[in-house]
Amino acid sequence: MNETAKEFGSVFLPAASSFEKTGTFMNAERRIQRVRKAIEPVGDSKPDWEIICDLARAVGKGKLFSFRSPEEIWNEIRSVWKAGAGISYERLEGGGLQWPCPAEDHPGTQILHKTAFPIGRQAALRLVEYRVPEEPVDDEYPFILNTGRTLYQFNAGTMTARTPNALLCHGDFLDISTQDARRLELSESECVRVRSRYGEAVLPIRITDSVAPGEIFATFHTPDVFLNYLTGPHRDKFVHTPEYKLTAVRIERHPGM
């Protein structure tokens, strides 16, 4: 159960994990592979395709979702998807195949673009002019906060925080340079309040030379810290990604610490 589900969810469907279901996975290099369940679904959990078919029957659309196996679903997909038409379960027994694979005698496509692109032999490149960030650093908010992941946890820690990984990384931390820590008279592992124009968070510091003076870095895996409260509304104008990597903040001593 993650924080979004706790606050907004009212109906929860018992989905099986990848170790509890059979089907296909597709990765970022266009490779489609067979997966087979290692254990039976735990408790009342079911594979996604069974849940969707059950829901369809519940709303009177069962005839459109009368599948009996993941293979039947995959065969319908490749019947309408030319690029995957040649990727049968039988062929996948010998290993993964990369689409486009339009026929069952096609070997799959390891390199997608060798001599041309879908738009022609040449691709159009576009110059993107540098844009000054909308988040200014000033005397009140003198630090640039960059957020990211750590090796030991994944996103909000919904799954990984319930594993022995928690022994390797107990929670979020704030990396600060040796020079800035000395100037602010901060000690290793001391808790501080990080405040932006939009919110605040309290977390311990880690003094390191891996960040430059004036810059700080923090992870966002602990719901109790909720570091994303600090980030603002600014988004990239092309892909609309939030500006997680540049937030102006200040560091304050945490009361009582």
64, part of any domain? yes
What the block records as the tokens of 154 is 């994944």
Percent of the chain with pLDDT over 70: 99
Residues 129-165: tens digit of each pLDDT: 888 888 888 999 999 999 888 888 887 777 777 888 8
Same domain, 86 and 174: no
Residues 66-105: tens digit of each pLDDT: 999 999 999 999 999 999 999 999 999 989 999 999 999 9
Same domain, 147 and 215: yes
Domain of 43 in residue numbering reads as: 12-98
Domains in the chain, number = 2
pLDDT at site 29: 93
Residue type at 195 in one-letter notation: R
* Mean pLDDT value across the chain: 90
pTM for the predicted model, two decimal places: 0.70
Residues 202-244: tens digit of each pLDDT: 999 999 999 999 999 998 888 788 888 888 888 888 888 888 8
Cα separation, 147 vs 221, in Å, equals 10
CATH number of the domain bearing residue 211: 2.40.40.20
Same domain, 147 and 249: yes
Strands 215-219 and 174-176: antiparallel
Burial 211-248 (b: 16+ CB within 10 A, else e): beeebbbbbbbbeebebeebbbeeeeeeeeeeebebbb
